[in-house]
A and B are shown apart, each in its own frame.
With several copies, the nearest count.
Chain A
Amino acid sequence: MDTAFFLRWIAAVTERVRADRDHLTDLDRAIGDADHGANLDRGFTAVEEALAAKPPETPSAVLTTTGTTLIRKVGGASGPLYGTLFRTLGRAVGEVPEVSQEALAEAFAQALAAVMKLGSAQEGDKTMIDALAPAVPELRTSFDAAARAALDGARATTPMRARKGRASYLGDRSIGHQDPGATSTALVIDALRAA
Chain B
Amino acid sequence: MKKLINAVGDVVPDTLRGMAAAHPSLRVDVENRIVLRAAGPTPGKVGLVSGGGSGHEPLHAGFVGYGMLDAACPGEIFTSPVPDQMIEATKAVDGGAGVLHIVKNYTGDVLNFEMAAELCAEEGAHVVSVLVDDDVAVQDSTYTAGRRGTGATLFVEKMAGALAEQGAPLEAVAAMARTVDARSRSFGVAFSACTVPAAGKPTFDLGPDEIELGIGIHGEPGRSRERFREAREIVRVAMDAIDADLPFSGDVLVMVNGMGATPLMELYVAYGEVDAYLREKGATATRCLVGDYVTSLDMAGFSITTCLLDAELTSLWDHPVETPALRWGR
Decide if A and B are genuine partners. yes
The secondary-structure label for the interface of chain A is helix
Q: Is the CB of A77 within 8 A of B203?
A: no
Q: Is the CB of B108 within 8 A of A79?
A: yes
User: Scoring A residues 143 to 174 as 1 if CB is less than 8 Å from chain B, else 0, what string do you get?
Assistant: 00000000000000000010111101111010
Q: Is the CB of B221 within 8 A of A170?
A: yes
User: Scoring B residues 205 to 244 as 1 if CB is less than 8 Å from chain A, else 0, what string do you get?
Assistant: 0000000000010111101000000000000000000000
Q: Does chain B have a CB within 8 A of A10?
A: no
Q: Which residues of A contact B106 (CB under 8 A)?
A: 77, 166
Q: Which residues of B contact A34 (CB under 8 A)?
A: 78, 196, 198-199, 203, 219
Q: Does chain B have a CB within 8 A of A75?
A: yes
Can you pick out 5 interface pairs between chain A and chain B where the beta carbons lie within 8 Å of each other?
A42-B76, A75-B76, A76-B108, A80-B112, A161-B143
Q: Which residues of A contact B144 (CB under 8 A)?
A: 163, 168-169, 171
Task: Give, as a whole number of angstroms, the nearest-CB distance from B30 to chain A.
Answer: 16
Stretch at the interface among B36-44, B81-89, B266-274: B81-89
Residue of A nearest to B145 (CB): A168
In this complex, the member of B81, B107, B144, B216 whose beta carbon has the largest number of chain A beta carbons within 10 angstroms is B107
- With A79-B82, A79-B112 as known contacts, state yes or no: A165 contacts B203, CB within 8 Å: no
List residues 105-129 of chain B with CB under 8 A from any CB of chain A. 106-108, 111-112, 114-115
Interface size range of chain A in the complex: 35 or more
User: Scoring A residues 4 to 36 as 1 if CB is less than 8 Å from chain B, else 0, what string do you get?
Assistant: 000000000000000000000110011111110
- A29-B199, A163-B143 are known contacts; what are 12 more A-B pairs with Cβ within 8 Å? A25-B199, A33-B79, A35-B78, A42-B76, A75-B112, A80-B108, A81-B111, A118-B111, A163-B142, A168-B145, A169-B216, A173-B223
Q: Does chain A have a CB within 8 A of B75?
A: yes
Q: Which residues of B contact A42 (CB under 8 A)?
A: 76
List residues 233-273 of chain B with CB under 8 A from any CB of chain A. none
Q: Does chain B have a CB within 8 A of A119?
A: yes
A38 to B55, CA, bound (A): 15
Shortest beta-carbon contacts, A-B, top 10: A33-B218, A80-B111, A76-B108, A77-B107, A77-B108, A168-B144, A34-B199, A76-B79, A38-B198, A33-B78
Task: Give, as a whole number of angstroms, the nearest-CB distance from B217 to chain A.
Answer: 9
Q: Which residues of B contact A25 (CB under 8 A)?
A: 198-199
Residue of B nearest to A125 (CB): B143
Task: Give, as a whole number of angstroms, the nearest-CB distance from B259 to chain A.
Answer: 14
- With A38-B199, A166-B220, A173-B221 as known contacts, state yes or no: A72 contacts B108, CB within 8 Å: no
Residue of A nearest to B195 (CB): A34
| Partner pick for A80 among B84, B115, B201, B219, CB 8 A cutoff | B115
Q: Which residues of A contact B75 (CB under 8 A)?
A: 75-76
Q: Does chain A have a CB within 8 A of B80?
A: yes
| Partner pick for B77 among A30, A35, A71, A170, CB 8 A cutoff | A35
Q: Is the CB of A29 within 8 A of B108?
A: no
Task: Give, as a whole number of angstroms, the nearest-CB distance from B2 to chain A.
Answer: 18
Q: Does chain B have a CB within 8 A of A39?
A: yes
Q: Does chain B have a CB within 8 A of A61?
A: no
Q: Which residues of B contact A168 (CB under 8 A)?
A: 138, 143-145
Q: Is the CB of A165 within 8 A of B112?
A: no
List residues 83-102 of chain B with CB under 8 A from any CB of chain A. 83-84
A75 to B80, CA, bound (A): 5
Q: Is the CB of A33 within 8 A of B143?
A: no
Residue of B nearest to A21 (CB): B198
Q: Is the CB of B80 within 8 A of A76?
A: yes
Residue of A nearest to B214 (CB): A169
Q: Which residues of B contact A78 (CB under 8 A)?
A: 108
A71 to B83, CA, bound (A): 7
A42 to B82, CA, bound (A): 12
Q: Is the CB of B82 within 8 A of A39?
A: no
| Partner pick for B220 among A32, A73, A163, A164, CB 8 A cutoff | A32
